[in-house]
Structure 1
Amino acid sequence: MSGPRTASPTVPGAARNAAGDAHEPVVVTGIGLLAPNGVGLEPYWAALLAGRSGIRTLDRFDVSRYDVRLAGQIDAFDPAQHLPSRLLPQTDVSTRLALVAADWALRDAGIEPGDLVDYATGVVTANAAGGFEFTHREFQKLWSRGPSSVSVYESFAWFYAVNTGQISIRHQFRGPSSAFVAEQAGGLDALGHARRTVRQGTPAVVAGGVDSALDPWGWVSQIASGRLSRATDPERAYLPFDVAAGGYVPGEGGALLLLEAASAARARGVRRLYGEIAGYAATFDPPPGSPRPPGLRRAIELALRDAGTEPGEIDVVFADAAGVQPLDRAEAEAIGSVFGPGAVPVTTPKPLTGRLYSGGGPVDVATALLAIRDGVLPPTAGSADIPADYRIDLVRGEPRPASVTTALVLARGRWGFNAAVVVRGVGRQNPSPGPHEPHPS
C-alpha cells in the first residue's frame, strides 16, 4: 500500500495569483472528519476525550478464517444521506468518505456554493490503497461473468488520484491540484503541498487524506505487511510504545481541511480560524543495511526550522505510533534526540481509531488543532507499561489539561517515508460544532 511520492500533476491552465507570498500564514478554516469512533469533528473529539473506541471485529465479510480480525470500522454513516444518487455507483468507499469530508470542511469554513470557484481553489489529497473495495467487486464480475459486466467506472474509481478529481468536479474547483501516495505519511504531505500551493498564490485549497481497504482483498493485502496486531481484545490490540506492543489495528476514514491564505480568510470575514500550518518537512529513510540513520529526526528538525520554532516551543507531539516495537523505539529515540528525554508530552489517538494510512496524519492535525483550541491533551488509550529507555512522556489514562499553542504531528509510511507538520494556534476560537455535524450521543 505504497507508491510514488506524487501521483498526479498540477491541473493544466491553473491561474496563479501574482500576489502569492512565500511567508504569508496559511490557516485552517474548516475541517471535515470521519473516524471509526466519531463521524464529524465534534463527535470524534468527544469520543477521543471519553476514551470511546471504534475498534471491533470486522463484519463486512467473514474474517473467522484469518488470524487478524479487528479493525477501526465506520458504522454510523450512510453515504446515500449525504451524496447524490448518481455518485454512488461510480465511487469507492474511500471516495464517498472523501467527498463528504470535503463538503463538511467547506461548510465548517462558512463556504456557500459558488463562494470559491474556478482557478481560485485547488484540491490536494492523499490515498494509500486506491479504490480497493470497488475494484475487488468489479474483478469478481470479470472472473465470474465476463468483461461486459464490469462497470465503466472501474476505469477511474480504483485510482489513487480519484478523490482529488471527484472533489474538484463536484465543487468546480479548477485550481492547482495534486494527489500523493506515501502510505501513512501521505496525508501530511498533502497538507504540506497545499500550504505551498496557497503561498504560491492560490487563495484556498481543500487538502488531506482518506483511506478504506476493509474488503477481503484489501484485508489480505494489509495482513501481508506483517505489522498488524493479532490480538482479539480491542482494548489491548493496539498498544504503541508499550512493552506489549504487537502491531497496529488498521482502520478507515480520515480528514480534509480547508487551507486559506490568512489575508483571503480575513477578506471574506471568516468566523473561525482553527490554527496555522506553520511548518512542514518530508524525508526518506536510507535503504536497509545503510549505516545512515532513519530520516524521522531530520524531518522533525526541518519542520521546526520551516516554522521558525525552537524545540522548547513545542507543547505536544502527536506521534506516528506504529505499535511495532522496533519502529516505536526508533520514533522515541528521534523525539528524545530533538527535544530531550521526557521533555515534551507525546500522545496519539490511533489506539481508538486504528491506523488510517493517508487519513491518519490529517486526523492527527485536526486533533492537534482541537487540543490547542480547548487546552487539553487526549491520552494514548491502552498503553500503560512504557520501557524506561524510551524516555518519553506519554500522555496516559485521562486527558491532560495543558496550555497548548504549538504542536508537532509526525507520520511514517511503509518503505521509508517520513513527514512532519507544525501547527500553531492563532488565538482562542468558538468551540461550538458546525451545523453539518451530528452531536455526540
Structure 2
Amino acid sequence: MARAVVTGIGVAAPNGLGTRTWWQSVLGGESGIGPITLFDASGYPARLAGEVPGFDAAAHLPGRLLPQTDRMTRLALYAAAEAFSDAGIDPRTLPEHTAGVVTASSTGGFEFGQRELQALWSQGSEYVSVYQSFAWFYAVNTGQISIRHQLRGPGGVVVSDDTGGIDAVVQARRQLRRGTRLVLTGGVDSALCPWGWTARLAEGTLSTDDRPTAAYRPFAADACGYVAGEGGALLVLEDAVAARDRGATAYGAVSGCATAFDPDPADGDGLARAAEGALRDAGITADQVDAVFADAFGTPEADRAEAAVLRELFGPYGVLVTAPKTMTGRLSAGGAALDLAAALCAVREGVVPPTVHTVAAPAHTLDLVRDKPLRTPLRHVLVLARGRGGFNAAAVVSAVGPAPRSAR
C-alpha cells in the first residue's frame, strides 16, 4: 500500500500569507481576527472575521486570470504555487497523467456570484460576466489549478463543509494507492461578502462579540460562538517511494484518515467514530497520540461533545490539546487543511502550537496548550474536524524522520 507523505505546503491564512510567515505567527500566538474590511459590516450583528492580510492578486497571478476568478480561487492559486515551490517540483515535468489535484470547497465563489447577480438585477443579463458560468462553482479551484500547472491526472472536489480539508486528503490518498504519483490537495475558502455573511448569520452560531480577543473562545465556560475567516492550505501529497527517489524531504506522513456522518452532532458519536477510525487506519492506539488539534467549534453544546470524545479516548487531561484556529477563525473547507498543515509543521519541528484567548472550563478536563508553544517530541498527532449537516473527519499525521527537525 502506498504511503502518503507531504512534501510541500502552501498557505494563505488570516495570520500570515505564505507558510513561513503564517507558521511564525502561529508559534508567536499572533491572531489575524479583526474587524471586517472586505465589505461594510457595520449593519450586521457580527462584525469580526479572519481576513488574509496584504494579498495583492495582481502581484501573484497573470492579468488574464483576474477577470475570471473569485478571491477564493486567487488565494488557492497562490497556495498551489507555493506548495509546488516548497516541494521542489514542477508538475509539468512529470510524466503525463501522473499528477492530479483534489480540493475542497464549502461555498464556491460567493463574492463573484454576488457581484454578477447584482449586475443582473440592476443592469440586465448583458452585464453578467461570461465567467459567472464557472467562477462561482465548487470545483473551480481544482479546475484553475489543474490548468495552470498542467495537472492531467485524477481530479476532483469535495463539498463537506468544515471537514472538507481532510476529506480531500482522503480522496487524494486513494489516488496515490491507485498509482498516481502526486496529488495537490487541501482546501481554500472565502465568502467574506454580504451574501456569504448573511448565510453565516442564518446559522445562528456566529459570535456577535466585537472584541477580537474575546469573540471566539472555544471550550471556555462562556463560549459564545465562532468567528468566520478565509484562506486555508494546499498540500503536495506524494507516494513515499516516489518522493524518496527524487530526493524530496517530507514534513510528515498522513498515516490515517476516517470520516463519519452524524445526524445529531451534539452527541459526538460521529466525531468519536471518525477519530477511532483514523487511529485504526494509522495502525496506532490512543496512547500513542502525542497531541490533538481540536475542531473547537466554539458553542457550549459542540465544545461539550468534543471534550467528551477526547475524554473517552484519552481519559481526563490525557493528551495535549490545541486549537490554533483561535488565531484565524473557522475557515470552512480551508480550516481542516490549515490544521493539517500546522500538524505537519508541528511534528517536523517538535512543537505544539498554542491556543489563544481562551481558558478551558474545568468540566471539559482538557490539557489545553495555551498562549505559548510547547516544545516536545511528536510522533503522531490527531486532527479533528466537524462540519454543519453532520460531517465528521479525522486524520493522523505522523513524523517520518528519527527526530523532530526545524521547519523551513
TM-score with structure 2 setting the length = 0.97
3-state SS, counterpart of residue 317 of structure 1 = strand
Q: Report the alpha carbon displacement of residue 431 of structure 1 after superposing the two structures with TM.
A: 3.5
Quote the residue 1:402 is aligned against.
376
What amino acid does structure 2 have at the position aligned with 1:379?
Answer: P
What amino acid does structure 1 have at the position aligned with 2:253?
Answer: E
Match of 1:392 among 359, 366, 379: 366
Quote the residue 1:275 is aligned against.
252
Quote the residue 2:19 is aligned against.
41
Cα distance in 1, alignment partners of residues 381 and 67 from structure 2: 40
Change (3 A) 1:40 1:375: same
Cα distance in 2, alignment partners of residues 146 and 323 from structure 1: 42
Q: Kindly indicate whether the alpha-carbon contact (under 8 Å) linking 1:117 and 1:172 is maintained by their aligned counterparts in 2.
A: no
Percent identity over paired residues: 55
Larger helix share, 1 or 2: 2
> What does the per-residue CA deviation read over 1:413-440, in whole Å, with 9 as the maximum and x for residues that have no partner?
001000000000111576464xxxxxxx
1:343 equivalent in alignment to 2:318: yes
Q: Kindly indicate whether the alpha-carbon contact (under 8 Å) linking 1:274 and 1:429 is maintained by their aligned counterparts in 2.
A: no
Q: Kindly indicate whether the alpha-carbon contact (under 8 Å) linking 1:126 and 1:187 is maintained by their aligned counterparts in 2.
A: yes
Quote the residue 2:4 is aligned against.
26
Cα distance in 1, alignment partners of residues 21 and 194 from structure 2: 29
Quote the residue 2:209 is aligned against.
231
Matching of residues 282-301 of structure 1 within 5 Å: 282-287=259-264, 294-301=269-276
3-state SS, counterpart of residue 220 of structure 2 = coil
Change (3 A) 1:149 1:117: farther
> What does the per-residue CA deviation read over 1:255-300, in whole Å, with 9 as the maximum and x for residues that have no partner?
0000000111112121x110000000000003589xx863110111
> What does the per-residue CA deviation read over 1:329-373, in whole Å, with 9 as the maximum and x for residues that have no partner?
000101111111111011011111010010011110110111112
Quote the residue 1:133 is aligned against.
111
How many residue pairs end up in the alignment? 407
Change (3 A) 1:293 1:269: closer
Cα distance in 1, alignment partners of residues 101 and 91 from structure 2: 16
3-state SS, counterpart of residue 236 of structure 1 = coil
Quote the residue 2:345 is aligned against.
370
Matching of residues 85-124 of structure 1 within 5 Å: 85-112=63-90, 114-124=92-102
Match of 1:379 among 354, 367, 379: 354
Q: Report the alpha carbon displacement of residue 175 of structure 1 after superposing the two structures with TM.
A: 0.9
Match of 1:183 among 158, 161, 170: 161
Quote the residue 1:327 is aligned against.
302
Quote the residue 1:4 is aligned against.
none
Q: Kindly indicate whether the alpha-carbon contact (under 8 Å) linking 2:354 and 2:372 is maintained by their aligned counterparts in 1.
A: yes
> What does the per-residue CA deviation read over 1:4-29, in whole Å, with 9 as the maximum and x for residues that have no partner?
xxxxxxxxxxxxxxxxxxx2211000
Q: Kindly indicate whether the alpha-carbon contact (under 8 Å) linking 2:378 and 2:404 is maintained by their aligned counterparts in 1.
A: no
Q: Report the alpha carbon displacement of residue 77 of structure 1 after superposing the two structures with TM.
A: 1.1
Structure 2 segments unaligned to the other structure (5+ residues): none
Q: Kindly indicate whether the alpha-carbon contact (under 8 Å) linking 1:373 and 1:429 is maintained by their aligned counterparts in 2.
A: yes
Cα distance in 1, alignment partners of residues 268 and 383 from structure 2: 20
Q: Kindly indicate whether the alpha-carbon contact (under 8 Å) linking 1:128 and 1:186 is maintained by their aligned counterparts in 2.
A: yes
3-state SS, counterpart of residue 235 of structure 1 = coil
Cα distance in 1, alignment partners of residues 39 and 362 from structure 2: 41
Match of 2:135 among 141, 144, 157: 157
Cα distance in 1, alignment partners of residues 265 and 337 from structure 2: 28
Matching of residues 165-176 of structure 1 within 5 Å: 165-176=143-154
1:361 equivalent in alignment to 2:336: yes
Q: Report the alpha carbon displacement of residue 118 of structure 1 after superposing the two structures with TM.
A: 2.7
Q: Report the alpha carbon displacement of residue 88 of structure 1 after superposing the two structures with TM.
A: 0.7
Cα distance in 1, alignment partners of residues 265 and 227 from structure 2: 25
Cα distance in 1, alignment partners of residues 265 and 87 from structure 2: 44
Match of 1:243 among 195, 206, 221: 221
Q: Kindly indicate whether the alpha-carbon contact (under 8 Å) linking 2:26 and 2:324 is maintained by their aligned counterparts in 1.
A: yes
Q: Kindly indicate whether the alpha-carbon contact (under 8 Å) linking 2:183 and 2:238 is maintained by their aligned counterparts in 1.
A: yes
Cα distance in 1, alignment partners of residues 137 and 100 from structure 2: 19
What amino acid does structure 1 have at the position aligned with 2:23?
Answer: W
Change (3 A) 1:117 1:245: farther
3-state SS, counterpart of residue 296 of structure 1 = helix
Q: Kindly indicate whether the alpha-carbon contact (under 8 Å) linking 2:3 and 2:240 is maintained by their aligned counterparts in 1.
A: yes
Q: Report the alpha carbon displacement of residue 64 of structure 1 after superposing the two structures with TM.
A: 1.2
Q: Report the alpha carbon displacement of residue 30 of structure 1 after superposing the two structures with TM.
A: 0.3
Cα distance in 1, alignment partners of residues 117 and 53 from structure 2: 25
Match of 1:51 among 26, 29, 38: 29
> What does the per-residue CA deviation read over 1:380-400, in whole Å, with 9 as the maximum and x for residues that have no partner?
10112x222211111112211
Cα distance in 2, alignment partners of residues 324 and 183 from structure 1: 17
Matching of residues 176-215 of structure 1 within 5 Å: 176-215=154-193
What amino acid does structure 1 have at the position aligned with 2:383?
Answer: V
Cα distance in 2, alignment partners of residues 252 and 38 from structure 1: 12
Q: Report the alpha carbon displacement of residue 65 of structure 1 after superposing the two structures with TM.
A: 1.0
What amino acid does structure 1 have at the position aligned with 2:98?
Answer: A
What amino acid does structure 1 have at the position aligned with 2:326?
Answer: P
Match of 1:314 among 272, 289, 306: 289
What amino acid does structure 2 have at the position aligned with 1:316?
Answer: A
Q: Kindly indicate whether the alpha-carbon contact (under 8 Å) linking 1:210 and 1:358 is maintained by their aligned counterparts in 2.
A: yes
Q: Kindly indicate whether the alpha-carbon contact (under 8 Å) linking 2:91 and 2:99 is maintained by their aligned counterparts in 1.
A: no
Change (3 A) 1:300 1:120: same
Cα distance in 2, alignment partners of residues 402 and 77 from structure 1: 34
Quote the residue 1:217 is aligned against.
195
Greater Cα offset, 355-364 or 367-376: 367-376
Cα distance in 2, alignment partners of residues 25 and 142 from structure 1: 49
3-state SS, counterpart of residue 138 of structure 1 = helix
